Amino acid sequence: MSWSGGGGVSLGALRDANLHGYEFTGGFADRTDGAAGSTDVGTDVNYTSAQASAGTWRRFGFSSAQNIANDSAYWAEPAPEPTAGVGLFGGSHMPHGVTGLIDFAADDVDYNQATSFGSLSVTAATGSLDFSECSPGDLARVRFDINITPQVNDTTVEFALIWQTRTDAGVPTFTFPLTGTPQLFGAAAAGVTYLVRQEISAYFASTEDVNARALLAVRADQQFICQPLTTLIAVNR
């Protein structure tokens, strides 16, 4: 493939084709304070000592009501697109052929309830990232913006996408955490709030990945307080 001239595909044409794209939301069900993209203050969520002892992943679900409340455009030019059901950017920057990357209301008995998948223990949470309009070969990069306030010094917090692959018929095949980089909050961290921007990637090897359910989650070896803020979902091709 040529990148310029000679009848090939120019870099400008590739940009115009919008092969890559992204969406952004603060529509977490647990975020009832603050607005996406314009504030880094959220709502306190407790990760309990019981959850820490059990190694439970605390998932962060989405909410249609919080999508509407939190994804309020803070700019005037260009004129913002409607954000309800889509995200803060209203689909303006989506990859070609993709109209949505978040299902704010999904409530699936095989994924959204509090349960254990073998040794994987997860809390209940509504909604899912939605890659159903993507294709095998695509790559998702999901950034999680979250405030972390350790309650105990030397607390290690892990971040993950709880990923459940599905057949075209919607039958679950595998469920596992796609983990990011654990973060240690050290000897003087208790009571201090840190803004963490954790990125997790996911490749689509097959249609089972394209059909996957996915939610962001945290777990730790000690109790802590967190505030889920926003997530940026990018798709590269």
Instruction: Give the pLDDT confidence of 99-124 residue by residue, as tens digits.
Output: 999 999 999 999 999 999 888 999 99
Query: Per the domain annotation, does 50 fall within a domain?
Result: yes
Instruction: Give the pLDDT confidence of 17-37 residue by residue, as tens digits.
Output: 568 999 999 999 999 999 999
Query: Per the domain annotation, does 77 fall within a domain?
Result: yes
Query: Per the domain annotation, does 158 fall within a domain?
Result: yes
Query: Per the domain annotation, does 208 fall within a domain?
Result: yes
State the pairing for strand pair 194-203/102-103: unpaired
Count: domains in the chain: 1
User: Which range of residues forms the domain containing residue 176?
Assistant: 21-236
Name every residue whose Cβ is closer than 8 Å to that of residue 100 and which is 6 or more positions away in sequence.
23, 85, 86, 91, 94, 130, 133
Quote the pTM value. Answer: 0.91
Query: Per the domain annotation, does 3 fall within a domain?
Result: no
pLDDT at residue 18, as a whole number: 64
pLDDT at residue 60, as a whole number: 98
Angstrom distance (rounded) from CA 49 to CA 225? 11
Query: Per the domain annotation, does 206 fall within a domain?
Result: yes
pLDDT at residue 19, as a whole number: 83
Percent over 70 (pLDDT), the chain: 92
Letter string b/e over residues 140-170, b meaning 16 or more CB atoms within 10 A of that residue's CB: bebbbbbbbbbbbeebebbbbbbbbbbeeee
The pair phi, psi for residue 211, each rounded to 5°, is -85, 0
Query: Per the domain annotation, does 120 fall within a domain?
Result: yes
173 HSE (CA, 13 A, CB side): 13
Which residue, among 74, 124, 131, 84, has the nearest Cα to 104 in the 3D structure?
84
Distances (CA, A) of 92 to 78, 80, 131: 10, 9, 17
Using 70 as the pLDDT threshold, list the residues of the chain that sit under it: 1-18
Query: Per the domain annotation, does 130 fall within a domain?
Result: yes
Distances (CA, A) of 226 to 46, 146, 165, 172, 188: 7, 7, 28, 30, 17
pLDDT at residue 8, as a whole number: 52
Which residue, among 191, 215, 196, 225, has the nearest Cα to 49 in the 3D structure?
225
pLDDT at residue 143, as a whole number: 98
